[in-house]
Amino acid sequence: MLRAAPRGILPWLTDHDSLTAAVRARCGELRVRVLRQGLGRVLPDEAPLVGVRPGARVWVREVALVADGVPWVWARSVARPGDLRNAWRDLAGLGNRSLGAALFADPRVGRGNLLARALDRRDPRGRVAGRYLLGAGAAVDAMGRGNCPFSALWGRRSLFCRGHGCILVTEVFAPAIPDRRA
């Protein structure tokens, strides 16, 4: 599956270190723009990973990592509400601070395997990420309805655990993100 990923995005998809730190190292100014935070519905493929029923209400945080004024990454984090009151209570009030920086700074946090794949317009994360990373009109073309040279956005996800609490983090990359190989 990863063989189909654009060569410039592949290093972003496979790096196990902090994405926030990697983006920060490649730009002059990094801002975390909170797009949504609060209770929402878990997606069917997320539910078993965070230990809830499909359609259950969970804590959802969606952000854009904006590097030098350009959105490079759209991210969605999902956790059980009870985990925010217990294992992750320090994360509930992050505001515009980076979740990744908080996770990687805590030695009690373990990270699961990375799963990378293409997200097309059938995936709700792909549709939402496309609006932020490409703009509304370009997102329609990029997601396979026009003459755009690519048909999907690429993303990855992994589970972060501390104690009995887990947070599922999905990160979707803008096609124009600078090549990590350079």
pLDDT at site 93:
73
Residue 37 burial class via C-beta count within 10 angstroms: exposed 0-12, middle 13-18, buried 19 and up: middle
Of residues 91 and 23, more confidence is placed in 23
Do 26 and 174 meet the contact criterion of CB atoms below 8 Å apart?
no
Domains of the chain, by residue range, sit at: 2-173
Confidence (pTM) = 0.88
Has residue 182 got a pLDDT over 60? no
Q: To the nearest whole number, what is the mean pLDDT of the chain?
A: 85
Has residue 181 got a pLDDT over 80? no
pLDDT in tens, 86-143: 767 666 677 788 888 888 888 889 999 999 999 988 899 999 999 889 874 444 444 4
Report the CATH superfamily, name and number, of domain 2-173: Chorismate lyase-like (3.40.1410.10)
